[in-house]
């Protein structure tokens, strides 16, 4: 499982010209799954995301987690391309990305687990999504397990 975490000032997901979801200040998560990912993997990464100290404290030092700030929303976007393999040639291979049905199930579990702690909004699994975000910092961190 891979999660690309981006601290954002605001973000939204648009599908077919229609705004599907929008968050104010918070985190945008791009989420991909591979063979062998389980609920245990999800719980580990949810804990890591919630406790990442990437928000500024009163001294403007990244020392607070999302749980310790007013930034209380997450936009979670499924993204199988996180498992792109570009070692051979110029066309990425997505063989390591988990197939749609299994990945969709794990993605739902991931969002349910996150929702126990914060408000989570999502795009539409498998859709052609347009993500608009203002990356704050910019802060972008890749998590993997």
**Tens of pLDDT along 31-87?**
999 999 999 999 999 999 999 999 999 999 999 999 999 888 999 999 999 999 999
| Count of domains for the chain | 1
Residue 105, phi then psi, degrees to nearest 5: -60, -45
The pTM of the full predicted model, rounded to 2 decimals, is: 0.95
Burial of 103 (0-12, 13-18, 19+ CB in 10 A): buried
CATH number assigned to the domain comprising residue 118: 3.50.80.10
Determine the pLDDT at residue 144: 97
Structural domain that includes position 37:
2-144
Dihedral angle sign, alpha carbons of residues 14, 10, 80, 78: negative
* pLDDT on residue 142: 98
Tell me, what's the pLDDT at 70? 87
With left for phi above 0 and alpha for psi between -120 and 50, is residue 85 left, alpha or beta?
Answer: beta
Whether residue 81 lies in the annotated active site: yes
pLDDT, tens only, 101-137: 999 999 999 999 999 999 999 999 999 999 999 999 9
Indicate the DSSP class of residue 65: -
Residue from 38, 41, 69, 81 carrying the catalytic annotation: 81
CA dihedral 78, 25, 113, 141 (to 10 degrees): 60
Nearest-Å Rg of the Cα atoms of the chain is: 15
């Amino acid at each position: 499982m891979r999660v690309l975490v981006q601290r954002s000032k605001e973000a939204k997901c648009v599908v077919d010209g229609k705004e599907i979801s929008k968050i104010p200040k918070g985190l945008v998560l791009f989420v991909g799954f591979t063979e062998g990912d389980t609920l245990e993997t999800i719980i580990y990464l949810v804990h890591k995301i919630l406790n990442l100290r990437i928000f500024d404290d009163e001294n403007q030092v990244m020392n607070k987690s999302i749980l310790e700030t007013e930034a209380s929303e997450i936009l979670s976007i499924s993204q199988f391309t996180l498992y792109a393999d570009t070692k051979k040639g110029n066309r990425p291979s997505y063989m390591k990305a988990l197939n749609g049905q299994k990945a969709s199930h794990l993605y739902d579990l991931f969002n349910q687990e996150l929702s126990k702690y914060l408000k989570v909004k999502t795009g539409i699994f498998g859709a052609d999504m347009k993500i608009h975000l203002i990356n704050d910092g910019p802060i972008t961190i890749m998590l993997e397990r």
